[in-house]
């Protein structure tokens, strides 16, 4: 004899509810895993960008900056994505810095300088990089490192909103005095 349909309904309902419950638990597990991974990457990025060991502020006494804090990067640690612009000193690329041993990709600007003509020019570039690395100001783009290949490459934070000068030129009629004053104060700090 075949069992009646009414006796199967509770077992079917229990199976459906159990299956849905399993799907919800698996979905929550995956969501928590992805969230945790995102938080870890974000913390790693923040730590790398705010690492105090990389730079020391300039001293008002006029002493030379601590040159040991300039980070020398390998060319394999970063990747050029696209050209942002070029000028008299070289070409600027949007790129990604992937520090060795880290699982994070940091958006950076890679300033590839034109070939230096003399050892003296190379020394001047390095001296300037040492000074740039020692500047720690929230309103100044930080020098994250330098790559010494056939052409010197300076690696800085990528400013996501682009060049301030271009913005000012495009919107000069719409920028009020309060914005200009705020920028002046930020630059003077």
Binding residues for ATP: 111
CA 31 to chain centre: 25
Question: What are the binding residues?
Answer: 111
∠ CA 174-84-173, nearest 5°, is 10
Report the C-alpha gap between 172 and 153 in whole angstroms. Answer: 32
Report the C-alpha gap between 24 and 47 in whole angstroms. Answer: 34
Is 146 in contact with 128 (CB distance < 8 Å)? no
Report the C-alpha gap between 157 and 139 in whole angstroms. Answer: 12
Helix (H, G, I), strand (E, B) or coil at 161: coil
């Amino acid at each position: 004899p075949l069992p009646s349909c009414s006796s199967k309904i509770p077992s079917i309902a229990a199976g459906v509810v159990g299956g849905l419950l399993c799907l919800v638990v698996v979905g929550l597990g995956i969501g928590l895993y992805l969230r945790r991974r995102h938080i870890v990457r974000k913390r790693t990025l923040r730590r790398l960008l705010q690492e105090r060991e990389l730079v020391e502020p300039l001293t008002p006494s006029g002493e030379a900056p601590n040159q040991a804090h300039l980070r020398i990067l390998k060319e394999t640690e970063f990747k050029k994505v696209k050209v942002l612009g070029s000028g008299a000193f070289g070409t600027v690329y949007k790129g990604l810095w992937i520090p060795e041993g880290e699982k994070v990709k940091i958006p950076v600007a890679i300033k590839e300088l034109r070939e230096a003509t003399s050892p003296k020019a190379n020394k001047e570039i390095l001296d300037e990089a040492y000074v740039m690395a020692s500047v720690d100001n929230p309103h100044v783009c930080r020098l994250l490192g330098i790559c010494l290949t056939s052409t010197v490459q300076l690696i800085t934070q990528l400013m996501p909103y682009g060049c301030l000068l271009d913005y000012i030129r495009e919107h000069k009629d719409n920028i009020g005095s309060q914005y200009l004053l705020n920028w002046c104060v930020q630059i003077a700090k």
